[in-house]
Amino acid sequence: MPSSREFNVPPVIFPNPGPQQRRAPSTPFQPQTMPQSRPPNPNPNPNLPFMSFDMSSASASSSSSSHFSAPIYGNPTFEDDLPLLEELGINTRQIYRETQSILNPFKSNPSFFDDGDLSGPFLYLLLFGLFQLLAGKLHFGIILGWISVSACFIYVAFNMLAGSNGTLTLYTCLSLVGYGMLPIVILSAISLFIPQGTMVMYGLGAFFVMWSTRVCTRLLIGIASYGEEHRGLVAYACCLVYLLFSLLVLF
């Protein structure tokens, strides 16, 4: 058996603390009292006005402000609002009045067309294209293109005849030419019930072309206040325009 070996471990000696290194006797723990917090000064600067942020007062002030936010003349209602068509610039009363004026070619009043609008002509052209579509003809693009070119043609021709006295604008000319399309629209509606290529259809086409020519000529001369001596030339230009549109219906 191997003999156990002894290890010589030197003793551990802790140094003795001196009088200055001795720890002071422990004292019982005493809780430290916190200083009482003062309420914040609502108005630290006396020179500045004080504004309260109380929620109850804020809600009361908001309700009172909403109560007095109405205009002086009274609370607005839905009855005071304009109709949707008038807000979009479509005056139905004006369109109805101008339509009645065109339906009577001998008493058409040019004063009804002083303002000029494109809502009525656009409605007539839309109906004209719809009647042509019912007849099996897709002419929407042709109608819009021809009416634009026709308005420019009459505008240039009329102002060349009037010279420096011409007061006709392109917008007014486009409006008048569009309103003059109403008899041609009626012709396109009648053509749905009468066979094409007959003498009756040709006779109706000539009648409605003369109707549109008379109305448009009367309105152009009445609004521009010039061109009475050139009525025949203005009527000839208008007749060419509406004869062109009647060909879409007859053929």
Task: Give domain limits for the chain.
Answer: 89-101+116-250
- Report the range of poorest mean pLDDT among 25-39, 102-116, 169-183: 25-39
CA nearest 216: which of 141, 97, 121?
121
What is the percent of the chain with per-residue pLDDT over 90, rounded to a whole number?
41
Question: Is residue 28's pLDDT more than 50?
Answer: yes
Q: Does the model's pTM come out above 0.85? A: no
Amino acid identity of residue 71, one-letter, is P
Please state, in angstroms and as integers, the Cα–Cα distance from residue 177 to each residue in 81, 153, 174, 181, following that order.
33, 11, 5, 7
pLDDT confidence of 177, banded at 50, 70, 90? Answer: very high
CB 250 within 8 A of CB 196: yes
Tell me the pLDDT tens digit for each residue of 132-167. 999 999 999 999 999 999 999 999 988 888 877 777
pLDDT digits (tens, 9 = 90+) for 43-97: 555 555 545 445 554 454 444 444 444 444 555 565 666 677 667 667 888 888 8
Give me the DSSP letters along 125-178. HHHHHHHHHHTT---HHHHHHHHHHHHHHHHHHHHHHHGGG----HHHHHHHHH
Report the C-alpha gap between 82 and 192 in whole angstroms.
38
> For the chain, what is the mean pLDDT?
78
pLDDT score for 92: 84
Calculated CA dihedral for residues 197, 202, 203, 208, nearest 10 degrees: 130
Considering 20-24, 198-202, 219-223, the range whose residues carry the highest mean pLDDT is 198-202
